[in-house]
Amino acid sequence: MPPLPATFVHTATRTLRDALGVSPQGMPRPVAGEYLVLCVDAMVEGVHFFPQVAPGDLGYKCLAVNLSDLAAMGARPLAATVQLSRPTDDPDWLVEFTRGFHALASAWGMVVTEAEVVEGPLAVTVEVMGGVAPQGALRRDGARPGDLIHVTGTLGDAALAVAVLEGRTTLPPGHMAPLERRLHRPEPRLEVSHVLAGVASAAIDLSDGLAGDLGHILDASGVGATVDITTLPLSSQLRALAGDEALPYAVGGGDDYELCFTVPPARRDTVERLGLDCGVVIACIGTIDETPGLRLVPADKVAALPATAYRHFA
């Protein structure tokens, strides 16, 4: 793949360096005794985001999805790097992308190094570095029978936005903006995850849908689960706009980037206080069982609900 013309590469990397960057020598380090956590995510136009997405929203989300991975491990963000391919020379687009990226990085006190920009299809790869104390690390393999299953925030709004953008459904005028914000500007739940140490037995972020992502916890822990879908936290807007289709969006839709975690029953009150302290809705939606597999109840509401995660190469 040939590089972009030298004049564009110089302009692009200079813009990103001025807005975001420091030299690698200025990168922060985990404090003594912490594990170093690295997460890498690639996002490709037409696969992970729509061609018409605003560059500022894209910059924000490309970092947010990686911060959500850090949140799922209980890690605090330290630094990020970004590699970007672009088919055309468009400095204005790059500036807006940078602003979106910088807005979220600054909110969490992160250091961001200069970017590499090359010619090619529109795609963004972000690597983030975090630190976590060994006793505070959240994993997927700690769920045990009897544990309670919780999720943060509300589920399904981003999936409804995707359905509209793909032409699978329509909405009345004026209702799309808040749904698009949930899709394009998800909130990584770092404020919750850093206080789950010693509370949660397992955790994951919900990128590909509740059913599938919870399934990763079940597989890693060698357990099953029963989820009461009537307890899933749904926004009032999703209930009003989607009607009977609200639950399928919440169960199988992706791009929520909320946390799903399990806790022993004795810590349920602690979780409720945690939600109040962080100002985040946390809902208990089910229990971990000995019998493998995911069971959705009640039976009369389960028909036609998805039970697998989104698969990029299905």
Residues 166 and 240 reside in one and the same domain = yes
pLDDT of residue 9: 36
Residues 71 and 14 reside in one and the same domain = yes
Residue 205 lies in a domain: yes
Residues 99 and 233 reside in one and the same domain = no
Residue 314 lies in a domain: no
Number of domains in the chain: 2
pLDDT of residue 222: 98
CATH code of 223's domain: 3.90.650.10
Residue 308 lies in a domain: no
Residues 160 and 111 reside in one and the same domain = no
* 229-245 tens-digit pLDDT: 999 999 999 999 988 88
* 148-173 tens-digit pLDDT: 999 999 999 999 999 999 999 999 98
CATH code of 82's domain: 3.30.1330.10
Residue 272 lies in a domain: yes
Band of residue 29 on the pLDDT scale cut at 50, 70, 90 = low
Residues 289 and 158 reside in one and the same domain = yes
DSSP the chain: -PPPPHHHHHHHHHHHHHHH---GGG---PPTTPEEEEEEEEEEBTTTB-TT--HHHHHHHHHHHHHHHHHHTTPEEEEEEEEEEESS--HHHHHHHHHHHHHHHHHTT-EEPPPEEEESSSEEEEEEEEEE-GGG---SS---TTPEEEEES--SHHHHHHHHHTTS----TT-HHHHHHHHHS----HHHHTT-TTT-SEEEEESS-HHHHHHHHHHHHT-EEEEEGGGS---HHHHHHHGGGHHHHHHH-----EEEEEE-GGGHHHHHHHHHHHT--EEEEEEEESSSEEEEE-GGGTTT---S---TT-
Residues 214 and 91 reside in one and the same domain = no
Residues 57 and 189 reside in one and the same domain = no
Residue 45 lies in a domain: yes
Residue 101 lies in a domain: yes
What is the chain's mean pLDDT, rounded? 87
Residue 246 lies in a domain: yes
Residues 192 and 266 reside in one and the same domain = yes
Q: What is the mean pLDDT of residues 186-193?
A: 96
Residues 156 and 115 reside in one and the same domain = no
Residues 177 and 93 reside in one and the same domain = no
From 82, 101, 134, the end of a domain falls on 134
pLDDT of residue 114: 65
Residue 250 predicted with pLDDT over 60: yes
Residues 128 and 161 reside in one and the same domain = no
pLDDT of residue 245: 85
Greatest Cα pair distance, the chain, in angstroms, is 62
Band of residue 43 on the pLDDT scale cut at 50, 70, 90 = very high
Residues 25 and 102 reside in one and the same domain = yes
From 111, 134, 157, the end of a domain falls on 134
Domain interval for residue 198 = 148-301
* 118-143 tens-digit pLDDT: 889 999 999 999 999 988 899 999 99
pLDDT of residue 26: 55
